[in-house]
Amino acid sequence: MLVLPFSSNRASLLDNLLDGSLVLLGEMGISSRVSGKKWEAAYVSERKRQLSALFNAHYSELRGLAFVILGDQHYAEEVVMDAFTKVFSSWTDVSKLDWPYGYLRRVVVNLCRDRIRRSRLETRINASHP
């Protein structure tokens, strides 16, 4: 049996779940036995909690950053949602970073740059084909 703190990285814990059971030490030091499907549900639940916390803490700020770069509220919201989608889909890797917000911010800036490039290209194409 493996005993780990409840706040440990869930991805590595799930990968190391060899014998089908773990004892999780919760915030109050209460241990509980979790196995199989229940462990997977606990992992998914913790992942959703982490992602929700990141979203709630930074969505407005990132939307403002994207608006400053793009000058369009609709595009800013779209870019930020795309950034969260990218980060959420690779959360296992992103959660291991020291500062996931920094990575998320970089994704937003890169997507804004892509949007500007695409817009300029569309403008050139439209101008050359009346």
* pLDDT, tens only, 76-127: 999 999 999 898 888 888 888 899 999 999 999 999 999 999 988 888 888 8
Counted domains in the chain: 1
pLDDT of 129 strictly over 80: no
Q: What type of residue is 70?
A: L
User: Quick check: 76 and 67 in contact, CB under 8 A?
Assistant: yes
Per the DSSP assignment, residues forming a β-bridge with 3 are 23
**Total residues belonging to the chain:** 130
Full-model pTM: 0.64
pLDDT in tens, 13-64: 334 433 344 434 333 333 444 455 665 666 667 778 888 888 889 999 999 9
| Residue whose C-alpha is closest to residue 88's, from 75, 72, 107, 69 | 107
* pLDDT of res. 88: 86
Q: Domain range spanning residue 104?
A: 2-128
Instruction: Give the pLDDT of residue 39.
Output: 57
Q: Rounded to the nearest 10 degrees, how much is the dihedral formed by the CA atoms of 105, 41, 33, 26?
A: 30
The continuous run of DSSP H or E covering 4 comes out as strand 2-5
